[in-house]
Each structure stands twice: as structure tokens, then as C-alpha cells.
Amino acid sequence: MPDTLPAWPRVLSQDLAAAYLSISTATFARLVADGKAPAAIRLSPGRVGWDRRALDRWVDEQTAGTAASTPGANPWDSIFSGNGPA
């Protein structure tokens, strides 16, 4: 494992967006399809991507208050169980 993180581009492909979140591409695609993760933005007629800052805000929303108020709680549990925010 490298000692440093890569310099992530501002707009990420689906594969990079999934890697950025440390989840599989299939899981990321399912979260997007279910409306639980940010939608892609259209960059050109044949290209879409995910704004890295939107992904950061989404993660912040998922973890807001959860980790601090409930020690040991995993905010991802509610997302994958279908009880997370839409």
C-alpha cells in the first residue's frame, strides 16, 4: 500500500468515484441508482463523472452526528440496509 494518497481529479469516473469512497464499483452504482449517492454530472454528450466535492459533502452528511453521538456506530450500516437518507 502506498504511503501517500493519489492526487484525485476534481471530476471522477465511476470507477474512480467508487475507489475514492473505498467501495466497489457495483456498490457505488447501486447507491447512485437508488438515489442514495450523488448523481453523475454530464461533462459532454458521451461523458459523465462525479464531482469529488459533492462526494465529500455526501460522506459528511452520512457521518454527521452519527460517529460523534454513538461511539462505535457505523454510518454506512443505514445506507446499505435501505434506511439511509435518499
Residue 28 lies in a domain: yes
pLDDT in tens, 65-77: 765 545 556 767 7
Q: Name the residue range of residue 53's domain.
A: 11-64
CATH code for the domain of 51 = 1.10.10
What domain count does the chain have? 1
The answer as to whether 55 is a domain residue is yes
- Answer whether residue 53 is part of any domain: yes
**Does some domain include residue 72?**
no
Asked, for residue 51, whether it belongs to a domain, the answer is: yes
- Taking only the tens place, the pLDDT of each residue in 14-66 is 999 999 999 999 999 999 999 999 999 999 999 999 999 999 999 999 888 76
75 inside domain: no
- CA dist., res. 71 & res. 55, Å (int): 24
Grid cell 467501495 in the structure block, residue:
23
Predicted TM-score (pTM) above 0.85: no
